Amino acid sequence: MEAASLTDGTAAAALRAFVALLVVVALILATAWGVRRLRGGFVPAAGWFRVRAAHALGPRDRVMLVDAAGAHLLLSVGQNGVRVLHRYDDAPELPEAQAAMPFAERLARMRRGGE
């Protein structure tokens, strides 16, 4: 009788560990989904469609500069759909991206009263 109760306890512990593992995996997937929703799902694609630049205007609205099948388009993407804002004849020149100011430097400026 003692061996049967030991087996039941081991099975219950294994089941609890398995359920805990499933919960952790579900939390990881939910967090990844949430981060993707907050970023707007922006993932540059390869092939005939390429996102050259994107700028968030709000939680669900953004402006995107895309190359699609040889056309250069400025798009407005939001919860009401996608609209073409402008069609470029030639690919527009993009400014060089500026590096963000390091946090420590920004904090030091704020303490001095600058910026």
What's the pLDDT score for residue 43? 55
Q: Is the pTM of this model over 0.75?
A: no
What's the pLDDT score for residue 105? 83
Kindly state the average pLDDT of the residues 44-73.
Answer: 82
What's the pLDDT score for residue 2? 53
Q: How is the chain split into domains, by residue range?
A: 1-39, 43-96
Per-residue pLDDT reduced to its tens digit, 85-101: 989 888 777 777 666 77
Q: What is the DSSP string of 10-75?
A: HHHHHHHHHHHHHHHHHHHHHHHHHHHHHHTS-----SSEEEEEEEESSSS-EEEEEEETTEEEEE
From 5-9, 19-23, 69-73, 101-105, the region with the lowest mean pLDDT: 5-9
pLDDT tier, 46 (very low <50, low <70, confident <90, very high otherwise) = low
